[in-house]
Amino acid sequence: MGPGCAGVLGWLLLAQVASQAAGKRVAAAPGGGTQSLAFGAAKPRGRLKLGSHRSPLVSPPAAGGRPCDAKDFGHGSLVCACSATYCDTLDPVVLPAPGTFVRYESSKAGKRLERSEGSFQRNAATPDFHLTLDTAQRYQKVKGFGGSVTDSAAINIQSLSKDAQNHLLRSYFSEEGIEYNLVRVPMASTDFSVRLYTYADAEGDFELKHFRLTEEDTRMKIPILQAAQAVAKRPLSLYASPWTSPVWMKTNGAMTGRGTLKGSPGDKYHRAWAKYFIRFLDEYAKHNLTFWAVTAGNEPTAGEIVFYPFQCLGFSPEHQRDFIAQDLGPALANSSHRHVQLIILDDQRVMLPYWAQVVLKDPVAASYISGIGIHWYLDFLAPIDLTLSITHHLFPDYFLLSTEASTGSYFWEPRVVLGGWDRGSKYSHSILTNFNNYVTGWTDWNLALDMEGGPNWSKNYVDSPIIVDSSKDIFYKQPMFYHMGHFSKFIPEGSQRVGLAVSKKCRRCDLEHSAFLRPDGAVVLVVLNRSPVDVSFGISDPRVGFIEAMAPSDSIQTFLWKQPA
């Protein structure tokens, strides 16, 4: 994975490697550390009542889902506590009547996807900041939103009672929750495992006769994936990523540290590694779990770092290109999994567009590839227009997908912050900026972690949208969870980003936003206010009318309305 995966020395080493390969771009992921956060006693505030908010031309929220059982851990905002007997829920999305809109709002002050309704106006004064919808401008289509079923996530989910587990999975995947549709599944162990293993650890087993799934799959990840699919309204799109090959295939003979596959593309080591992907897909298919995609490998630049502390397998873009052209691409194409899409990079966006140029300009490799995966840990080094937008324009036929993100990963940060609003805002900021630059989907890292941010065999703890306290059979839904819901619940697969013109006459009214046209013809607009002041703004849909709106300080809103047929 990426968070905390190297110290400053690792960055310098990786910068040297990447600069040699690309001449100008570097990649890796932020530095480690093992500090954890000591928590004070939770101070219950009771259940938040949906519907206290009033604004012009907005009616009280409709009665519906169960409210948040709010807890305040003293970190600036609230978490919602869930147990075997209670968990907050949402109503299924229902489109409003023509000429009206619904708005869902979450805020640092305590709202959690609070629903309200209002009517469009035909004549209104134009505010200093307003957004005008332009559905004639069409951009990328949406794949979806989700998270990762790591070993650690599975351990935490299964540490709860059956009823609490059901509440957790329904919170993520069902219509009474935030309706995730993307799930990343590690192939064997990651740092978010309690031990290091692969599926083919028998020395020299080139035919993979001893390939076996482990208990982490058969008793943990597979049952959870099956249960998630059972509560989801639509089929889930699973995609798999390997962290490392078996050590007998590697140049350094270890799962961690600097090392790549022995030999060269087209040889027995590379053929065996390609076959490993097929065997993984074969075994999961026996459990009625089929995959939408695989990535060629998690963070291939990590395996170029000396003393890299977690599982990794190094690839340069040239090596990945040739492995795909000669081994992995043909293996998938000639298997029963030829429909499975192949994603390259699966690493920091700072490597773009160079990585894509090297791999996709080879016509043989490119013929097997569908998309490009990106992680967020070095985004501060990588201007989005010079990485994602330029990559899209160079290679418009290949989708961009955000495949991993987590907070609490930098060594100077506390690992878990219960009620940290800013961490949710970071998620929404990333999603909005990514989607406004042609990304098609956004995947969180661990679905659930414990109060320390683990378990993790290397103590590389991070935060998660759901934190489990198994000693109390309770889990806490963080602000990050609700920020994700502002997108995942309302922007289904097949939606398309559309134009949104901005008119701004004030300096301090900064808002972040993106608009989408759903497959059912409804419009979704998401507006994020990360500032400490309220911002008045207007929304104009030339086919419907005008909305006078206000974005409270530290808030996120999702608007939904129908357009005329």
Locate tokens 């990590």: which residue? 302
pTM confidence score: 0.90
Q: Angle CA(306)–CA(308)–CA(312) in degrees, nearest 5?
A: 115
- The CA-atom distances, in angstroms, between 9 and each of 12, 139, 300, 461 are 5, 40, 18, 20
Q: What is the pLDDT of residues 125-139, one digit of tens each?
A: 778 899 999 999 999
Q: What is the pLDDT of residues 41-94, one digit of tens each?
A: 333 334 433 333 323 233 333 346 899 999 999 999 999 999 999 999 999 999
- CA dist 468 and 159 (Å) reads 8
- The CA-atom distances, in angstroms, between 327 and each of 133, 173, 332 are 46, 35, 9
pLDDT at residue number 64: 62
Beta carbons of 528 and 428 less than 8 angstroms apart: yes
On the CB side of 159, CA atoms within 13 Å amount to 21
pLDDT at residue number 3: 54
- CA dist 184 and 168 (Å) reads 17
- CA dist 479 and 475 (Å) reads 13
- CA dist 272 and 275 (Å) reads 5
Residues marked active site are found at 299, 404
Tally of residues, the chain? 565
pLDDT at residue number 508: 75
The residues, any chain, with a CB within 8 Å of residue 507's CB and separated by 6 or more, are: none
pLDDT at residue number 126: 74
Would you say the C-alpha torsion 113, 115, 121, 127 has a positive or negative sign?
negative
Extended beta strands in 43-128, E state = 43-47, 58-59, 69-72, 78-82, 100-107, 114-119
What SS3 class is residue 158?
helix
pLDDT at residue number 464: 98
pLDDT at residue number 534: 94
Beta carbons of 513 and 500 less than 8 angstroms apart: yes
> From the CB of residue 223, how many other CB atoms can be counted at a distance below 10 Å?
16
Compute the chain's Rg from CA coordinates.
Answer: 23
The parts of the chain modelled with pLDDT lower than 70 are 1-64
Strands 535-541 and 129-141: parallel
pLDDT at residue number 49: 34
pLDDT at residue number 507: 75
pLDDT at residue number 107: 98
Q: What are phi and psi of 504, to 5 degrees?
A: -135, 125
